[in-house]
Amino acid sequence: MPTDPLEIRLAVLDWAGTVIDFGCVAPAGAFVATFAARGVAVTLPEARGPMGLHKKDHLRAMLRTESVGAKWRAATGREWAEADVVELYRDVTPRQVGAAQTYSALVPGATEVVAALRRAGVKIAGTTGYFHEAAAVVAAAAKSQGYAPDFNICADDVPAGRPAPWMVFRCMEALGVYPPAAVLKVGDTVIDIEDGRNAGCWSVGVVDTSNEMGLTEAEFAALPDPEKAVRRRLITDRYLAAGAHGVIGTLTELPGLVRSLNARLASGARPG
């Protein structure tokens, strides 16, 4: 076990909706288009529901919902089968790669936040529910804008994606950081909160840029302040109900949160 005072030494950041692609637009739109090609008119909220899972698991989760399952039966005349998941996944893959290329801007303040964390001695890892091809597109786009994590991994690299903790554990192993109390997981879905909790580390949700908010930067800016407040409260409540140890409005609040967690660690607090 490390003998130095326990502090946050690793931040594991999700990609779309957390550090890139304000509103997590790319994956949601690709799912809608894939189902539409089969005459199944799923909505954006239905597509966003399981966000954070490996994309094949995401398709299964959508089909298992009452609403999407009913639409599938109405369009195809039968129940869905695993062969349908394979076909849908084959279709959604290139759509998501293309969408990831289009929606590739970093969220405001991302590079400055990462620089501040690194100055504080915090290593940076990236995890995503994207498959290899889309994950590579996202990583390349981010690097061209000045953001490159110290380690990066996607759901294809582990036996099971979120909410299993394996991606977080692989980040800890690769960057030599333990125990889990020295690790902070940051994401923009309930599934992100759950995989951080399952890894035993601090787990935090970001609100404004999130899949849970589901709005582009322009759409979010256009919201009246009272509507923003209502939506922020609802999302915060969802994160806290999932066990989040903290909630931040935007990524720019992360360095301050790390300082707060370090104070809690110094007083003996541990993620529970």
Grade residue 10 by pLDDT with cuts at 50, 70 and 90: very high
Q: Which of 55, 56, 123, 185 is catalytic?
A: 55
Of the residues 102, 121, 145, the one at which a domain ends: 102
Q: Assess whether 58 and 123 both reside in one domain.
A: no
pLDDT in tens, 110-141: 999 999 999 999 999 999 989 899 999 999 99
Helices (H), 103-202: 110-119, 132-144, 166-175, 190-198
Which CATH number is 154's domain given? 3.40.50.1000
Residue 104 has pLDDT above 70, yes or no: yes
Domain ends where: 102, 136, 165? 102
CB atoms within 10 A of CB 61: 15
- Count the Cβ atoms, other than its own, within 10 Å of residue 162: 30
Q: What's the pLDDT at 38?
A: 94
Q: State how far the Cα of 208 lies from the Cα of 214, in Å rounded to an integer.
A: 9
Are both 84 and 204 inside the same structural domain?
A: no
Catalytic residue among 14, 21, 57, 208: 14
Per-residue CA distances from 60 to 65, 71, 87, 89 (Å): 9, 14, 12, 10
What proportion of the chain, given as a percentage, has pLDDT over 90?
91
Element spanning 126, H or E? strand 123-128
How many domains, in total, are found in the chain?
Answer: 2
Same domain (yes/no): 113, 247: yes
Catalytic residue flag (residue 14): yes
Q: Is the pLDDT confidence value at 2 over 80?
A: no
Same domain, 120 and 246: yes
Residue 2 belongs to a domain: no
Residue 88: give the domain boundaries: 26-102
Asked if residue 4 is part of any domain, the answer here is no
Residues 34, 110 share a domain: no
What would the mean pLDDT of 199-212 be, rounded to a whole number?
A: 97
Residue 53: which pLDDT band, with cuts at 50, 70 and 90?
confident
Given a cut of 70, is residue 46 above it in pLDDT? Answer: yes
The mean pLDDT of 72-85, rounded to a whole number, is 96
Q: Is the pLDDT of residue 4 over 80?
A: no
One domain for residues 134 and 146: yes
Specify whether 156 is catalytic: no
Average pLDDT of the residues of the chain: 95
Please check whether residue 89 is in contact with residue 6, taking contact to mean a CB–CB distance below 8 angstroms: no
Predicted confidence (pLDDT) per residue in 219-253, tens digit: 999 999 999 999 999 999 999 999 999 999 999 99
* pLDDT attached to residue 3: 52
Based on the domain organization, do 85 and 138 belong to the same domain?
Answer: no
Determine the pLDDT at residue 54: 86
